[in-house]
Amino acid sequence: MTKIKTLADLRKMKEEAQSKIKLRENSANPDQVVQVKVGMATCGIASGAKETMKYFVEELEQEAIDAVVTQTGCMGYCYAEPTVEVKLPGKEPVVYGHVKKEKAREIIDSYIKRGELVDGIIPVSFKTIDD
């Protein structure tokens, strides 16, 4: 990694990073990747998030679905761990709670493959600083 030397460089870098993410998120190209984020804080891991994450990585790869599976921190829904956010290309992200293997299977089969929502959605119940 190269050092960021000035504030201007940092700002440029932010824009690059943002546009990279935007490109990924907002493209109308239906071939775009599916993004899966697994809540991997202590609360998630204690409830089996590692297994859930591994399952998504392996299954999506095996089924040759173009997807990026990443980890993220606690989403705050500790009562519903493991929690997983799935973002299909061109759609709003959807958070699912209690995602163990079975639920993950259902999410892959119904939501990721066919776009059908699955029971157990956690509605976003907060505002962000940008709202």
Q: Which residues contact 93 (CB under 8 A, 6 or more apart)?
A: 35, 85, 86, 87
Handedness of CA 61, 66, 70, 74 (dihedral sign): negative
Cβ-based neighbour number of residue 35 at 10 Å:
18
Q: Which of residues 44-63 bind other proteins (CB under 8 A)?
A: 45
Q: Does 65 bind other proteins (CB under 8 A)?
A: no
Distance (Å, whole) CA 92 – CA 86: 9
Q: How far is the CB of 95 from other proteins (least distance, A)?
A: 8
Smallest separation (angstroms) from other proteins to the CB of 122: 4
Q: Which of 23, 27, 42, 63 binds other proteins (CB under 8 A)?
A: 42
Give the residue among 67, 64, 74 at the shortest CA–CA distance from 41. 74
Q: How far is the CB of 84 from other proteins (least distance, A)?
A: 11
Q: How far apart are the C-alpha atoms of 51 and 103, rounded to whole Å?
A: 12
Interface residue with other proteins, options 47, 56, 85, 104 (CB under 8 A):
85
Is residue 41 at the binding interface for other proteins, with CB under 8 A as the rule?
yes
Is 87 a binding residue for other proteins by CB under 8 A? The answer is no
What is the contact surface with other proteins in residues (CB under 8 A)?
A: 1, 3-7, 9-11, 13-14, 17-18, 20-21, 37, 39-43, 45, 70-80, 83, 85, 97, 113-129, 131
